[in-house]
Amino acid sequence: MKDKVAHFILFCYIRYLKVKASFLITYMLCFAVLSAQNNCEMGFVRDSLFVEKDNTFVGADGLKTPVFKDGGEVKIFKVGHKYYLMLICKSNLHMDLVSDLEIISGTKSMVAKGVKQHQKDKHTGFFTIEILKNYVATLKDDGITSYVFNTKETLLAKNEVKEVKKIANCFYQTINVQKK
């Protein structure tokens, strides 16, 4: 009788270890999958994006900064396999003017030729430019410190640069996870 009880206790203990091991393996697999995915806290939002070359608004998925102190904002979008940057501005307005737009990111800059500043409302303008994936990487590292349009420079505050880096980092992580 004692042998049967001992075998039963041993059987139950081995069974317990197997269940514990399977939970541990499941936990490790879930952790590995979750850590390999995007750890960004922000989710993409659906918004409208003006595509210059098509002269039309399209639905797009993207990320945006909180509205800046001066009412400006930065948005990054993905439409199909293309990426777009939208700068919304409330100062240095030159509605419907076409000029070069230089975006300065720390010591680096990118110039978009022949960009038009569109009017969103009476006191707000915006630019939309197509950007490459490697420029999203620049934005995640350096943000946007200023931009120049029609020789007028608009500076971003340090906290605004930080917000641009934050959304660019999240955007970059998301577009890289989706490719794997």
Query: What amino acid occupies position 116?
Result: K
pLDDT: which is higher, 78 or 6: 78
pLDDT band at 86 (very low <50, low <70, confident <90, very high): very high
pLDDT the model gives residue 35: 42
Over 50: is that where the pLDDT of 33 sits?
no
Q: Count CB-CB contacts under 10 A for residue 70.
A: 14
- C-alpha dihedral, 169 to 146 to 64 to 55, nearest 10°: -120
In Å, how far from its chain's centre is CA 114?
26
Distances (CA, A) of 140 to 21, 39, 106: 40, 15, 12
Of the given ranges (25-39, 45-59, 118-132), which has the lowest mean pLDDT? 25-39
DSSP-derived 3-state class of residue 85: strand
pLDDT: which is higher, 19 or 115: 115
Query: What amino acid occupies position 146?
Result: S
| Bridge-based pairing state of the strands 98-105 and 146-149 | antiparallel
Sequential DSSP letters for 118-135: EEEETTEEEEEEEE-HHH
Which secondary-structure segment (H or E) carries 115?
A: strand 108-116
Residues 90-105, mean pLDDT to the nearest whole number? 90
pLDDT: which is higher, 9 or 131: 131
pLDDT band at 38 (very low <50, low <70, confident <90, very high): very low
DSSP-derived 3-state class of residue 77: strand
Q: In angstroms, rounded to a whole number, what is the distance separating the alpha carbons of residues 82 and 177? A: 16
Residues 148-157, mean pLDDT to the nearest whole number? 92
Q: In angstroms, rounded to a whole number, what is the distance separating the alpha carbons of residues 167 and 174? A: 10
Query: What amino acid occupies position 94?
Result: H
Over 80: is that where the pLDDT of 58 sits?
yes
pLDDT the model gives residue 4: 67
